[in-house]
Structure 1
Amino acid sequence: MPSLRIRGATLAGIACAARLAKLGHIVELDTGGDDLGAHWSPAQDRLAPVLTLPATWRDLFKKSGRTLDAELARSSLELIEAPPAIHRFVDGAELPLPTERGRQFAILTARYGQPVAERWRDTLDALDEVWLAARRFGVESPASPTGGANLRALWLDRTLADVAERVGHPHLAEIVLSLAPLAGTRSRRAPGLLASRLVVERTFGRWRLVDADGAALPATRLLGLLEERLATRRVRVVEGLGAEEHSVDCLPRAPLLTRAALAPATSHSWEDRAGEEPFSEVIDHTGRWPVVTWRVPTAEGVSVLTRDYNHAHRAVSWGLEPRSARSVLRRVPIDRAGAPSRASACSPAGPEPWAELASAALAVYEVHERLTGEDCRPTNRSRR
């Protein structure tokens, strides 16, 4: 059996290699000179201490050999619910916003009154349908949206400003508008689709990784487990396959007329541990653009991670700038006739780590079916 070649030691590349090897293929992962482990630059820079939609991680570990729960237990690790993010506003007010639907309604009712809480709830309920459409077009299927009905289902016919106008309070509007820079753009035409992030968090929660003593760990620890999975699956890791053909290209690339996303300036510092510092996430809306700060207590002290969206630079490893509906539709398709499959932060699912894992799964389905005629998609497996 000829080797399958995966280009890119990115999160998508590692996921594709592990999945295809479990399916019985001989796999080579071309790192292009990038190190596996501690220095996976594109993935590590984007993996915050908080995980969203852990089901994509669970699916990856299950489909590459051992379930995530078993792998975490073997390493004395655990995923636990993260506390609510605290939003800080220019008027000095702070809002801890839970992700669970009922808790959101209760705290917003207490803070702003029931009419505002109802408008927020109803807006996110409407975004449930947007998320279902996103799953059809990029997350669970490589299909591209065509026709006015599908574009409207994705809220590509409206902007984040339109969504912000629906929510009924300046503080909540600021949370919605901040989703544009968090997604890598400062465009006023950023599509309403970006607001689906709110309902993804409401549906699947926010999670963080801890060890047996309850000490917080960086989410990049999961990447270390994936490195071990590559060795278990006997993936051959090589540097630079030159001009040889690749089965899956997992390097993020910006197509013509499309710009890379605006990545925030990031910093990491340590502070002495004073007492029992709780884990916290603060999203500061007092400047022109948000600043996100995580304070993570560890055995050595308090790790402080900051993403400053006021100082940003273009970085294709953060995906493509979603400055308009047209730019979203230009995301690189998973499968295209006459070209290798593609999976990366530039894929239709978007740049979030969970989305990159989803794009990797779709690429694996396409490659495996093309080579073997076997459909290994989960829906077909459950039907059998």
Structure 2
Amino acid sequence: MSEIAVVGGSLAGMAAAARLAKQRHRVLLFEAGERLGGRWATPGALPPVFTFPAPWRDLFRKSGRPFDAELTRTGHALVPAPPAVHHFADGSTLTLPADRGDQWAALEQAWGTPAATRWRDLLDDLDERWQLLRRLGLEDEFTDAALTPRRRAALGLNRSIERLARGFGHPQAAALIRSTAWRIGSDPRRTPEFVAVRLALERTFGRWQLTRGGVGVPATELIDLLAARLALRGVEVRTGTPVTAIAPNRVTTASGSVQVDAVVATVNPWEYLRLTGAAESPLRRRTAWTLPAFAPTVGIEPLAAASEGSGSGTADGARSRSLIHPGEGTAVPATTEDVHHAPTGVRVEYRLPAAAGGLRVVHDFTSGAPDPGFGTRWTSPRTWLRQPPLRAATASVTLASASSRGGNDPWAQLLSAALATYVIHEDLTGADIRPTNKAARP
């Protein structure tokens, strides 16, 4: 049995620890704070409506009881969320379904056939770029050599989100396109246009909300479920234990050094460089040109208090939506999402009508601040290769965080953690547990 240290109790750190423990490694997880989950442990920080649940399903399946079975055991369920309502600067609104056919119908009515057709074709093109992106730091290791001139051209790496938005020729569509950059903490003028694949992901994978007992609940309960999985797998979690140094096969805390066979560092790259010193000079040179992404200001309050306020700008209909799912005879109070578009960013308002008496959660990207834990901000096409690679220069260390090359979305952090575990397990045992190895079993 190998001993592995995971430095950082972020989402990526928790995911890596759970996967490695299931592979019969002894895992020690060091977290400087008193709780796990990194910035996502903050109440309301993890968006309660999300797309692309497959990485969550894969994580739970590869660490024990499958995701849906675990949700059932705890009284949770993952159910479709209603369409987002977009509010534009000119006072107009748009309800945008995720389903391809429903989306086409809504846009044809709102924008007319020509613009709806261009939107459909744009998302079809983004679907193709998604297939390329999957091999670049999400499902496969992304090395510098992997970014060939042909891939750069196909992805549109040298073209910005802002250029894509302006070229579409419709103000509402332009706002939707720009929002994909704002919502990862970057400026549309500096962000490559392939980041807009998030629009296609929603159309392909849908929109989802977490419920418990039939009502919507904060997505941070997923962090609690993952923490329970760590306990089940026997991960030794040491919260309140900052790591002060990382070296080959060793981590150091205030209590002394711990010898290990491998390290997964899931702290942000600036913190990682502080812990490793001169050993990571190539990464240090690259990181000197990068900046932290702008994290949104997160606000959370009881829904009753929000309803009494006068500045939310949210349509009354967004406060009382419910869904009836196939096979169910009762309506599920829906978690709603209203997106307010402005020239300087977006403000996203979620309403959970039945959770703890009702909650209003606001993610305000118009007043965000640089946060190393939120990932790396796009400043140019070169940003991608300036982000940390999977394999560190320090021997026996792999890297996975919101600044990994897969991106800073929660689902991307789960996938980056999976890549780190594949590399470590293969280095230590010679066994390939990647999904591409059909002989491997969870």
User: Shorter chain as normaliser: what TM range?
Assistant: over 0.9
Letter in 1 for 2:289: L
Distance in structure 1 (CA, Å) of the matches to 2:265 and 2:34: 15
Partner secondary structure for residue 190 of structure 1: coil
**Structure 1 residue 168 displacement after superposition:** 3.5
1:365 paired to 2:422: yes
Aligned 1:113-152 pairs, distance under 5 A: 113-144=112-143, 145-152=146-153
Letter in 1 for 2:58: D
**Structure 1 residue 143 displacement after superposition:** 2.3
Partner of 2:301: 269
Distance in structure 1 (CA, Å) of the matches to 2:65 and 2:359: 31
Q: Which protein has the larger Cα radius of gyration, Structure 1 or Structure 2? A: 2
**Structure 1 residue 2 displacement after superposition:** 3.9
Contact 2:49/2:337 (<8 A) preserved: no
Deviation digits for residues 37-82 of structure 1, max 9, x if unmatched?
xxx3422354110122110000000000110011001011110111
Contact 1:9/1:34 (<8 A) preserved: no
Between stretches 312-321 and 161-170, larger displacement belongs to 161-170
Letter in 1 for 2:374: W
Partner of 1:55: 54
Contact 2:303/2:351 (<8 A) preserved: no
Partner of 1:248: 264
**Structure 1 residue 382 displacement after superposition:** 5.3
Distance in structure 2 (CA, Å) of the matches to 1:17 and 1:265: 29
1:96 paired to 2:95: yes
1:280 paired to 2:336: yes
2:362 pairs with 306, 329, 347, which one?
A: 306
Distance in structure 1 (CA, Å) of the matches to 2:159 and 2:297: 29
Distance in structure 2 (CA, Å) of the matches to 1:41 and 1:338: 24
Contact 1:123/1:167 (<8 A) preserved: no
Partner of 1:325: 381
Partner secondary structure for residue 269 of structure 2: coil
1:376 paired to 2:436: no
Structure 1 pair 221–114 and aligned structure 2 pair: CA distance change class (3 A): same
Partner of 1:178: 179
**Structure 1 residue 34 displacement after superposition:** 3.5
**Structure 1 residue 242 displacement after superposition:** 4.3
Between stretches 369-378 and 294-303, larger displacement belongs to 294-303
2:347 pairs with 291, 299, 310, which one?
A: 291
Letter in 2 for 1:283: V
Give TM-score, length-normalised by structure 1: 0.94
**Structure 1 residue 172 displacement after superposition:** 0.6
Deviation digits for residues 260-311 of structure 1, max 9, x if unmatched?
0011111111132989833321111145321111111125322111111221
1:225 paired to 2:188: no
Distance in structure 2 (CA, Å) of the matches to 1:316 and 1:192: 23
Partner of 1:83: 82
**Structure 1 residue 218 displacement after superposition:** 0.7
Structure 1 pair 155–127 and aligned structure 2 pair: CA distance change class (3 A): same
2:399 pairs with 342, 367, 377, which one?
A: 342
Structure 1 pair 98–167 and aligned structure 2 pair: CA distance change class (3 A): farther
**Structure 1 residue 346 displacement after superposition:** 0.5
Percent identity over the alignment is 42
Distance in structure 2 (CA, Å) of the matches to 1:34 and 1:261: 24
Equivalences, count: 380
Between stretches 235-244 and 82-91, larger displacement belongs to 235-244
Contact 1:84/1:97 (<8 A) preserved: yes
Partner secondary structure for residue 291 of structure 1: strand
Distance in structure 2 (CA, Å) of the matches to 1:182 and 1:64: 30
Letter in 1 for 2:177: V
**Structure 1 residue 157 displacement after superposition:** 2.0
Partner of 2:206: 205
Partner of 1:44: 41
Gaps of 5+ in 2: 252-261, 271-286, 308-315, 322-334
Contact 2:426/2:432 (<8 A) preserved: yes
Letter in 2 for 1:277: S
Partner secondary structure for residue 290 of structure 1: strand
Distance in structure 1 (CA, Å) of the matches to 2:212 and 2:217: 7
Partner of 2:5: 5
Between stretches 94-103 and 345-354, larger displacement belongs to 94-103
Structure 1 pair 61–383 and aligned structure 2 pair: CA distance change class (3 A): closer
**Structure 1 residue 166 displacement after superposition:** 4.2
Distance in structure 2 (CA, Å) of the matches to 1:141 and 1:101: 28
Partner secondary structure for residue 190 of structure 2: coil
Aligned 1:22-37 pairs, distance under 5 A: 22-36=22-36
Structure 1 pair 162–299 and aligned structure 2 pair: CA distance change class (3 A): closer
Distance in structure 1 (CA, Å) of the matches to 2:38 and 2:9: 9
Partner secondary structure for residue 137 of structure 1: coil
Deviation digits for residues 206-261 of structure 1, max 9, x if unmatched?
1000112x211111111111111111111111224543345110112242210000
Aligned 1:153-164 pairs, distance under 5 A: 153-164=154-165
**Structure 1 residue 337 displacement after superposition:** 4.5
RMSD: 1.9
Structure 1 pair 2–369 and aligned structure 2 pair: CA distance change class (3 A): closer
**Structure 1 residue 179 displacement after superposition:** 1.9
Contact 1:6/1:29 (<8 A) preserved: yes
**Structure 1 residue 187 displacement after superposition:** 5.1
Partner secondary structure for residue 156 of structure 1: coil
Contact 2:13/2:266 (<8 A) preserved: yes
Structure 1 pair 299–51 and aligned structure 2 pair: CA distance change class (3 A): closer
Letter in 1 for 2:103: Q
Over 4 Å off, 4+ runs? 273-276
Distance in structure 2 (CA, Å) of the matches to 1:178 and 1:21: 38
Gaps of 5+ in 1: none
Letter in 1 for 2:291: R
